[in-house]
Amino acid sequence: MADNAQFFAGLDIGGTTVKTVLVDEMGEVAGEMVEVRSHVKEGYESTFCQLEKALDQLTGNIGVGRKSVKGIGMDVPAPSCDGVIWGQANLAGDWVGTNVRDLFSERLGGVPVYMTNDGNAAALGEYAVRKKHHGALLLVAPGTGLGGGLVLPGGRAYEGASGLALEVGHISVPHREENDELPDCSCGLKGCLEAWVSLVALRRRVGIELSKPENASHPLNDGSPLDEKAFRLRDFAQEGDALAISIFRQQGQILGYGIADLVRVFDPGLVVIGGGLAETDFRDQYMEWVLEGFRERAWPMYLSSPVDPEHSTTRFEWARGGDWPAALGVAYSAREMFRH
């Protein structure tokens, strides 16, 4: 390997693990991906040790020294701006208000570091794996909550003035419960998209539906905790269970509603749906439900062009990055920013 070879590392810092990857100057993944525990609850110093351990493994795997790493991208599960985390999320208190980006860069002898939040990083990863796509990309990813990110044409994430943009889970949707109430959201507001489309929302929905007399004999009414029922709902939907399907169908349609509003603001051309649903057997059906909701609320111009009606103005795709899109995304960004 040439001494002047340049590599760029992507470090995706999560609540329990850090997923890491190295890319070369051409943006190709170099060597094996490495996963280590994150230790984020023990403070940032403890995580830095883990990050260094991962960097040594990544470079060791391809037989180069740490000096070959010319730039680092990292993402954190919290709102951040210019290297500083603004909100605590799942991290120890000392992460907040400290410039962890600069501290980590100093610790590595001045290697430049780019830092962003996990939603932006995942969107960057989806952009990176679509090598032929050069337009914008909007990612919407239902998980425990509902995250997202927007990549601008050319490959930079739109982060907003203070790194607080793209909180897609907390736009409001015109949808009420059967009793006419707006559901509570984890953020303290009511009626957010995330309160309808997330694992948290699924749990609420399952509780409501199973308490109805017509669902009394449903196999999920077996005394198991609500969390477990919400998890098992996916298997039931895969097997064609009517209740499970109706719950996912509502989620999908409301997600489509929300995406229609986001598309009206950003007109991204490509919407990527991420999160665990991308791996389910009924994902094609779920995408149909998303499209049903989208078509109901999107103006015709966001569906197809008047010049060429065959040309759809908003394409929908499932995420392709699997478990590693965020690590890949920040590695690609580091390459874009720090390549000589």
- Which residue lies nearer to Zn ion by CB, 22 or 192? 192
CB of 194 to Zn ion, least distance (A): 5
DSSP-assigned states of every residue in 297-314: HS-GGGTB-SS-TTSBSS
SS3 23: strand
CB of 185 to Zn ion, least distance (A): 3
Sign of CA dihedral 246, 243, 238, 183: positive
- The answer to whether 28 and 21 are in contact (CB under 8 A) is no
- Which residue lies nearer to Zn ion by CB, 10 or 149? 149
- Which residue lies nearer to Zn ion by CB, 185 or 328? 185
- Which residue lies nearer to Zn ion by CB, 59 or 251? 251
CB of 189 to Zn ion, least distance (A): 5
Q: Residue 71: which H helix or E strand, with range? A: strand 69-76
CB of 204 to Zn ion, least distance (A): 13
CB of 78 to Zn ion, least distance (A): 16
- Cα separations in angstroms, 212 against 48, 216, 247: 50, 7, 14
Query: Residue 145: how many CA atoms within 13 Å on its side-chain side?
Result: 17
CB of 288 to Zn ion, least distance (A): 26
- Which residue lies nearer to Zn ion by CB, 191 or 325? 191
Residues found near Zn ion in the complex (CB under 5 A): 170, 185, 187, 189, 192
- Which residue lies nearer to Zn ion by CB, 73 or 119? 119
Q: How many Å apart are CA 321 and CA 72, to the nearest integer?
A: 19
SS3 98: coil
- Which residue lies nearer to Zn ion by CB, 77 or 125? 77
Q: How many Å apart are CA 191 and CA 254, to the nearest integer?
A: 11
34's torsion region: left (phi>0), alpha (psi -120 to 50) or beta? beta
CB of 63 to Zn ion, least distance (A): 48
- The answer to whether 173 and 257 are in contact (CB under 8 A) is yes
DSSP 190: B
